[in-house]
Amino acid sequence: MEKNTLTVKRGLAQMLKGGVIMDVVTAEQAKIAEDAGAAAVMALERVPADIRAHGGVARMADPEKIIEIQAAVTIPVMAKCRIGHFVEAELLQALGVDYIDESEVLTPADEAHHVDKRGFDVPFVCGCRNIGEALRRIGEGAAMIRTKGEAGTGDVVEAVRHMRAVMGDLRRLTTMREDELATFAKDVQAPLDLVASVARDGRLPVVNFAAGGVATPADAALMMRLGADGVFVGSGIFKSSDPAIRAKAVVEATTHYQDASIIATASRGLGEPMSGIARDTLAPEELLATRGW
Amino acid sequence: MTPVIGVLALQGDFAEHAAMLRRLGVESREVRVPRDLEGLDGLVIPGGESTTIGKLLETYALLEPVRDLGASGFPIWGTCAGLILLATDVGTPQPLLGLMDMTVERNAFGRQTDSFETDLDIDGLPGGAFHAVFIRAPIVSGIGDDVEVLAKLDDGRIVAVRQGNLLGTAFHPELTADARLHGLFVEMTRVA
C-alpha cells in the first residue's frame, strides 16, 4: 500500500472537476455550501472582499474554525496558507485538511520562495497567471492549478485573461518543434521537462480550475467554456444578498455550462450579486494577482 | 454491434471514464439531462462528490429515470461516488439511487492524506492483480444476499461488488492505464 503518491494527490483534484469550490469562514457557511452542491469548501479567515476592505495582514484561518468546518461537512475541506509559509502549511497538514491552497490572497510570508510542496503528504493547489507560473508551481509539487484572477473584486476580467493565457500557450506548445521548446521554457521560466511533456500531451499534467472574480452563474459558465476544469468562488457567494440560492445556481451553471437555457433559468431570482470593484480601478499595490514568483 | 455507454457528467472525473472507453473502441456519451439517456446500453457513474452529483441528479430529474433503468436490468457501474449513489444506505441523508442492496460507509479511510494505491485481486478478472487507486474512498460495510463480493482489501473490507446488472467499485480504474474493468463492464452491456 502506497500513500501520498502523485496519483492520489492529483487524483483528488480530478474528482473535483466540473464542480465548484466555495470560500467559507464558518461552519454554518460550509453547510450552506455543501447543501448547495459545492464539491469542496475552502476555509479561510476572511473572504477576499473583506481582506480588501479591512486591510491588515491576512493569515491562515484559526485552527478552531477549520476543525469546526471539518466537523460540519463530508465534502473535502481545503485551507489557505501564505505564499512561502511552510510552517502554516505544516499546521494545515497536521489539522488534516484535504488540500492546501498556497494563496496570493493572503499576505505573502516570503518574497522570493514558494513552499517546497514535494515534501508534504497533503496535496497543494496554487494560482497562476500564465503557463510559466503554472509549470513552476507544478515543478515545486503543486497537484492542482487555478488561475489567480483578481480575488475579492467580483470582476471576472482577470480570470479570463489568465485562463486565455494558459490555454492559448497550451495550444501553441502543441505546434512547436522540439528545438523551439527549450527557448519557450527559457522565456516563460519553466522547467524544460514539464514544457516538453505538456507539448506532447497538449494539456497540463494536473487539473486547472478558474478562480478570482467569479460572481455569477454566467461567470462560472464562461470560465468553463474557456477551458477551466471547475470553478472556485470566493467572495461571490457569501457577499451576495442570498448565498444559498446563488451557490446552487453557480453549481448548476458549472455543470450545464454548455446549455444557456438551463443557465438562464438557474440565474433567475438570485437577488443582488456582490457589489464588486472594477479591476482597472485598483492601484498596482492593491492587486493580489501580482503576488507570487 | 458496439454498445453506446453513457457517462454521467454532472460532476467528477467523467472525462477519464470516456477516455478509457474510447481506448476500448467504445462510443460514450455525456449524460446531464434525462433525454441524454435515450438509446444507451449502459451507464457509468464516475468518481466525484456524491453529495454534489446526488443533488444534481435530483434537480435535473435524473434520479427516477436512472433508478428505473437500473431496476429493469440496464447495466450501471459506479466508481467511488458512483458506488455511494448505488447504495441503499450511506448513513447520512443525501439523494441516492438505492439500487444495490448494500450499506456504504463514506470516507471510510479518513482524510485525503489517508488516500492510497494498492494491488487487488478481483474475482473473475483474468490477468492478475489490479492496481487500485483509493481517494477519500468509501467501503461496502454491509451486503444483502443478492450482492456478490468481487474484491476485498487484505483486512477483509469489501471494495468491489456486483449485483446482476450493477457493478460497484470503491476505487478508480479510470485513473490507471488498466482498462480491464472497463472491458468487463462493456461485456456486461453486451449481455444485457
Task: Report the 3 state secondary structure along B78-93.
Answer: EECHHHHHHEEECCCC
Question: Which residues does chain A have within 8 Å of residue B48's beta carbon, measured at their own beta carbons?
Answer: 15-19, 39
The three-class DSSP label of residue B31 is strand
- DSSP classification of residue B158: E
Task: Give the model's pLDDT for residue B191.
Answer: 83
Cell of A4: 501520498
**Of all residues in chain B, what percent carry a pLDDT higher than 90?**
97
Query: How would residue A194 be classed by pLDDT, with cut points 50, 70 and 90?
Result: very high
Task: Give the model's pLDDT for residue B2.
Answer: 83
Amino acid making up residue A35: D
Going from the C-alpha of A220 to that of each of A22, A46, A68, the distances in angstroms are: 12, 22, 28
Model confidence, pTM: 0.97
- DSSP classification of residue B164: T
User: Taking the CB of residue A71, how many other CB atoms lie within 10 A of it?
Assistant: 10
Q: Over the stretch B49-102, which tens digit does the pLDDT of each residue have?
A: 999 999 999 999 999 999 999 999 999 999 999 999 999 999 999 999 999 999
Which candidate, A71, A28, A38, A37, places its Cα nearest to that of A234? A38
What mean pLDDT, rounded, does chain A reach? 96
Question: Which residues does chain B have within 8 Å of residue A259's beta carbon, measured at their own beta carbons?
Answer: 32-33
- Identify which of B51, B112, B175 has the shortest CB distance to residue A14: B175
What's the rounded Cα separation, in Å, for the pair A216 and A273? 7
What's the rounded Cα separation, in Å, for the pair A160 and B155? 49
A14 at B interface, C-beta within 8 A: yes
Contact yes or no for B126/B117 (Cβ under 8 A): no
**Of all residues in chain B, what percent carry a pLDDT higher than 70?**
100
First to last CA, chain B: 13
- Identify which of A15, A251, A259 has the shortest CB distance to residue B12: A15
Q: What are phi and psi of B83, to 5 degrees?
A: -60, -45
Whether residue B1 is predicted with pLDDT greater than 90 in this model: the reply is no
What's the rounded Cα separation, in Å, for the pair A47 and B12? 26
A17 labelled catalytic: no
Torsion of CA A204, A207, A210, A211, to 10 degrees: -110
Q: How far is B24 from chain A (nearest CA, A)?
A: 20
Please list, residue by residue across B117-135, b when 16 or more beta carbons sit within 10 angstroms of its beta carbon and e when fewer do. bbebebeebeeeebbbbbb
Task: Give the model's pLDDT for residue A58.
Answer: 95
Which A residues in the span 52-91 are in contact with B, Cβ-Cβ below 8 Å? 74-76
Contact yes or no for B89/B104 (Cβ under 8 A): yes
Q: Over the stretch B22-44, which tens digit does the pLDDT of each residue have?
A: 999 999 999 999 999 999 999 99
Question: Which residues does chain B have within 8 Å of residue A34's beta carbon, measured at their own beta carbons?
Answer: 51
Q: Over the stretch A168-181, which tens digit does the pLDDT of each residue have?
A: 999 999 999 999 99
0.85 surpassed by complex ipTM: yes
**Active-site pick, A80, A148, A239, A248:** A80
The three-class DSSP label of residue B104 is strand
